[in-house]
Amino acid sequence: MYLSSLTEVLKWDLEDEIIIFSLVDYKIKYGAPNKFENIENYKKKIENLVQENILKIIYEIFNDNTFYEYYFSIMRSKIIENFFTSNLYLEANSKEFNFIKDKNEYSECFEEIYKDFLKEYDNKDENYKKFKNLIILKILPNGDRAYTIRALKKIVINTAQFYMGKDLKEDKIKIILKGYLLIIILHETEHFFRLLNKTNKVFDLTPREKEGGILFIKYLFGVNSINHINENQSKEVLNYNNWKNHQYLKNIFINQLEDIEENNINDFLLNYFPNSISFYSTKYITKKNEKHEIKK
């Protein structure tokens, strides 16, 4: 293990996931020996905001069949059907998919995969068992909200790293989380469809900096990333009537702060979005040192 401070390591809980991640990181294992601080620093880097009450609520949501029923109802909405059954084309400098009439060698179309997916997984009579088996709830490293595992064909959802606004009432948390988790599942659905490429109708051509999940959320809501959500926004997402009016959907997160960098992000989110649940991710930050006025 090349550890110089084994006695310190033995004080840790060696069954803790964060500790395990820290000890097996390749930079530690194959990096400079005799530097215990490397492990300590990495441990701090991937530590999460783990809240037992939030974890309990997330499991309740994912055990509730009405959550899946609603997910599949909006997956069948005309807005989403239009996206997945159209020929999508991404120009070099474009930040959004273009919808083209005829497919070409650089376009993508999910139509067959989309229809097969609904046929296989939208099964209320079996309590959505097959779809539930696709989802893994797991504490993930710092900044990761969710990802799709290609080898296992699973969707992993982070159950930690939520910032509660300073004025957020306890009875509002579940409804907000439900809307947020629905958006995360939608984002990962686009990724999951790319794993089901049995007929070569969908290609993995989208550049990583313009990955398909982000472009799908951009298509739905008009923003690249939803970092914070309040009760009213969640209720709007969970109102099926709003999925009949695309322009209305795009207005839900119209004032979303998509790019944030602050020295103390915890305090910033608690105060700037006092009635929201925020999830901070460093993946898509482009603006630095921008000052934001704290909302009173």
Angle, to 10 degrees, between the axis of helix 52-62 and the axis of helix 173-195?
60
Residue 284 lies in a domain: no
Domain membership of residue 295 (yes or no) is no
Q: Are the beta carbons of 146 and 153 closer than 8 angstroms?
A: no
Same domain, yes or no, for 94 and 137?
yes
Q: Are 176 and 234 in contact (CB under 8 A)?
A: yes
In a domain, 13, yes or no: yes
Tell me, yes or no, whether 292 lies in a domain: no
> Which residue do the tokens 């939803």 mark?
226
Shared domain check, 148 and 64 = yes
Q: Tell me, what DSSP letter sits at residue 92?
A: T
Q: Is residue 294 part of a domain?
A: no
CB 161 within 8 A of CB 47: no
Of 195, 288, 179, the C-alpha closest to 230 is 179
- Same domain? For 12 and 116 the reply is no
For residues 38 and 107, membership in a common domain is answered with no
Which structural domain, as residue segments, surrounds residue 25? 6-46
Q: Are residues 25 and 105 in the same domain?
A: no
How far apart are the C-alpha atoms of 202 and 88, rounded to whole Å?
10
**Total number of domains constituting the chain:** 2
Domain annotation covers residue 296: no
Taking only the tens of pLDDT, the chain with its 296 residues reads 455 556 666 777 777 766 776 666 645 555 555 556 666 666 666 666 778 899 999 999 999 999 999 999 999 999 999 999 999 988 877 778 888 888 887 788 899 999 999 999 999 999 999 999 999 999 887 778 898 888 788 999 999 888 888 899 999 999 999 999 999 999 999 989 888 765 544 545 554 445 788 889 999 999 888 888 999 999 999 999 999 999 999 999 987 765 566 666 667 777 888 999 988 655 444 344 344 443 43
Q: Do 221 and 137 share a structural domain?
A: yes
Does some domain include residue 126?
A: yes
What order of strands is seen across the sheet that includes strand 154-158?
135-138, 154-158, 146-149
Same domain, 247 and 169: yes
Tokens in use for 232? 């009213």
